[in-house]
């Protein structure tokens, strides 16, 4: 797991290789640390975590701004709501 600050208000969480429940738990904990309006780019390759992260954002009010997928790898940009 790797979490880093890319630029002001932009962070990246790389949880490639992790299976459930790690990606969704790490995403939840990372979002909890950010300020409203900050962006978190989550990189993961466990498809079922995507369903959980998407529902979690819908419930908490965080917005998934973009979703990219290539060869089993997912890159999601989430704006903290």
Partner 1 sequence: MDNDLIKKRNWAFGIVAFFGLISIATYTYNEYYIYLSVYLWFGFIYGMCLQYGRFCFSSAFRDLFAVGVPRMAVGVMLATVLFALVSAFVTATGLSTFHAAPTSLHAVVAGFIFGVGMVFAGGCASGSLYKTGEGNGVALLVILSISVTQALFADVAGWTNKLVPQSWHESAVSKGLPPTINAGDGWVDQYLAGYVWDQPVMTYATMMGQTDESITGAFFSNAFLGVIVPAAILLLFVYLIWSRRSFLRKRKKVKENLNFKDDLLGYWTMIVASKRTAIAGLILGIFCGLQMFVTQGLRVKFGIQNAGTLLERMGHDYGISVNGTVFDPGYWYVTTQEAQWVGWVFAKAGADNMDNIYFGLVNGIPNPAINPADWMSLALIGGAAVMALLHNEFKFKKPTLELATWAIIGGALMGIGSRLGLGCNVGAFFVRVAQGDVSGWLFGIGMIAGAYIGVKFFNWWTERQMAKEFEACDI
Q: Report the DSSP pairing between strands 63-70 and 39-44.
A: unpaired
Q: How far apart are CA 63 and CA 28, in angstroms?
A: 13
Q: Is 25 in the site for partner 1 (CB under 8 A)?
A: yes
Element at 40 (helix H, strand E):
strand 39-44
To the nearest whole angstrom, how small is the minimum distance from the Cβ of residue 14 to partner 1?
Answer: 10
Residues contacting partner 1: total by CB under 8 A = 39
Binding site for partner 1 (CB under 8 A): 1-5, 11, 17-22, 24-30, 33-34, 45-48, 50-52, 55-56, 58-61, 69-73
């Amino acid at each position: 797991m790797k979490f880093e600050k890319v630029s002001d208000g932009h962070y990246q969480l790389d949880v490639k290789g992790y299976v459930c429940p790690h990606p969704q738990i790490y995403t939840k904990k990372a979002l909890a640390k950010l300020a409203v309006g900050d962006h978190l780019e989550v990189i993961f390759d466990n498809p079922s975590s995507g369903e959980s992260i998407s529902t979690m954002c819908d419930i908490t009010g965080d917005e998934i701004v973009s979703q990219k997928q290539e060869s089993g790898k997912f890159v999601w940009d989430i704006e903290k709501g």
